[in-house]
Amino acid sequence: APSDPDLVARALAAKQALGDRVFILGHHYQRDEVVQFADVTGDSFKLARDAANRPDAEYIVFCGVHFMAESADILTADGQQVLLPDLAAGCSMADMATAEQVEQAWDVLEELGIAERVVPVSYMNSSADIKAFTGKHGGTICTSSNAERALTWAFEQGEQVLFLPDQHLGRNTAVRQLGLSLDDCVLYNPFKPMGGLTADQLRNAKMILWRGHCSVHGRFTKECVDEVRERIPGVNVLVHPECRYEVVESADYVGSTEYIIKTLDAAEPGSKWAVGTELNLVRRVANAHSDKEIVFLDKSVCYCSTMNRIDLPHLVWTLESLVAGKPVNRITVAPDTAALAQAALEQMLALP
Ligand code: 13P
Ligand code: SF4
């Protein structure tokens, strides 16, 4: 639906009044009505880097989810404020690893005497506490665009990796890009003693995968891929690495949201694509390329409900609060946590 013209005018007026004092970041899963006001759009990696490189902006308005705003707060200078237009925009995957659970898992590894050879690698989609845990134990953060480099680096530092919290990104990267076998990976269930694993399983695994997943990408199945290939002969299947292993195995191309967009931008006119990621993104690229056939991989609609919480009314409310000098929804990370998390984030930014 077209955006409410009154809200569009208010957003423009607020942006103009603030000028360079505000910088608006928009993740690729954001609604069109929000993306039209973003100074920059990107995947998680690009947005983290862009937030870190905007020292002049007094305010960073993060149109994305909570863990992204926390990471931006950690990477920006002390005087800068990061705002999340709706505080309820979380990420169900990030919530699947709590600090307490992860500390308990580390205790298990310490009791087995293997903690010193385990390197934690945490997906960007995690709380600041998990990032701090990662930094404290000499690990790195990764995103879907640098997971291979992060794992390669981690295996140079130690013999085993504890990968948090997305089992699928961890497994897909380890098996498909590092050449490990499925048997090298074990699944750690935080709700069971010792993760539901034996001491030998924990000792022998190369990858200890946390039992987390994305509920949006978890909906794509191998059957979706088979069905679309039958329905659209010659179709190219392009998916995000948060999809399950068998989906990624049966796809033609796999990558981050930024990679997905670049691949579709560069595709030949007349080519056909079925895309397995969030729907706002797929619809926007499909609309931008009417010369290519771009369809959603699943038959049912599939938004990320928390990404979608950021809408134009919330953005206008946030921008107008800045104009009024009374910022709302500031995201801050406690200094001790931020220092440790920053070490893990900077390790990611320094990956070769
Ligand atoms: P990207 O880093 O590929 O943008 O992914 C972020 C995300 O939340 C995917 O679900
Ligand atoms: Fe989290 Fe999945 Fe939404 Fe990405 S798409 S923000 S991983 S719930």
Residue 123 identity (one-letter amino acid): Y
204 and 99 assigned to the same domain? yes
Report the separation in Å between the CA atom of 55 and the middle of ligand 1, taken as the mean of its atom positions. 24
* Binding-site residues: 27, 44, 91, 123-125, 144, 214, 240-242, 257, 304
Instruction: Count CB-CB contacts under 10 A for residue 158.
Output: 18
Q: Is 92 in the pocket of ligand 2 (CB under 6 A)?
A: yes
Report the separation in Å between the CA atom of 195 and the middle of ligand 1, taken as the mean of its atom positions. 26
Residue nearest (by alpha carbon) to ligand 1 atom 6: 44
> Distance (Å, rounded) from C-alpha 236 to C-alpha 275?
8
Average pLDDT over residues 308-325: 98
140 and 185 assigned to the same domain? yes
Q: Is 257 in the pocket of ligand 1 (CB under 6 A)?
A: yes
- 203-227 burial, b for 16+ CB within 10 Å, e for fewer? eebbbbbbbbbbebbebbbbebbee
78 confidence band (pLDDT: 50, 70, 90): confident
Report the separation in Å between the CA atom of 181 and the middle of ligand 2, taken as the mean of its atom positions. 27
Q: Is 101 in the pocket of ligand 1 (CB under 6 A)?
A: no
| CATH code for the domain of 120 | 3.40.50.10800
118 and 199 assigned to the same domain? yes
Which atom of ligand 2 is nearest the CA belonging to 242? 7
Closest CA to 193 of 93, 62, 315, 104: 104
Residue 299: pLDDT over 90: no
Note the ligand closest to the C-alpha atom of 92.
2
Residue nearest (by alpha carbon) to ligand 2 atom 7: 214
Comparing 148-157, 260-269, 292-301, the range with the smallest average pLDDT is 292-301
Asked whether residue 351 is assigned to any structural domain, the reply reads no
First-to-last C-alpha distance (Å) of the chain: 43
Strand partners, 62: 25
Q: What is the pLDDT of residues 265-287, one digit of tens each?
A: 999 999 999 999 999 999 999 99
Q: Is 277 in the pocket of ligand 1 (CB under 6 A)?
A: no
Report the separation in Å between the CA atom of 306 and the middle of ligand 2, taken as the mean of its atom positions. 8
Average pLDDT over residues 168-189: 98
Tokens representing 223 are: 């059957």
Asked whether residue 152 is assigned to any structural domain, the reply reads yes
> Distance (Å, rounded) from C-alpha 52 to C-alpha 73?
9
Residue 301: pLDDT over 80: no
Report the separation in Å between the CA atom of 277 and the middle of ligand 2, taken as the mean of its atom positions. 10
Q: Is 126 in the pocket of ligand 1 (CB under 6 A)?
A: no
107 and 166 assigned to the same domain? yes
Average pLDDT over residues 122-130: 98
The last residue of one of the domains, among 214, 230, 263, is 214
Asked whether residue 340 is assigned to any structural domain, the reply reads no
Q: In the chain, how many domains are there?
A: 3
Residue 345: per-residue pLDDT: 95
Asked whether residue 292 is assigned to any structural domain, the reply reads yes
Q: Is 89 in the pocket of ligand 2 (CB under 6 A)?
A: no
Q: What is the mean pLDDT of the chain?
A: 96
Which atom of ligand 1 is nearest the CA belonging to 260? 3
Identify the domain containing residue 138 by its residue range.
Answer: 94-214
Cβ 120 vs Cβ 341: under 8 Å? no
Q: What is the pLDDT of residues 22-60, one digit of tens each?
A: 999 999 999 999 999 999 999 998 999 899 988 889 999
201 and 180 assigned to the same domain? yes
9 confidence band (pLDDT: 50, 70, 90): very high
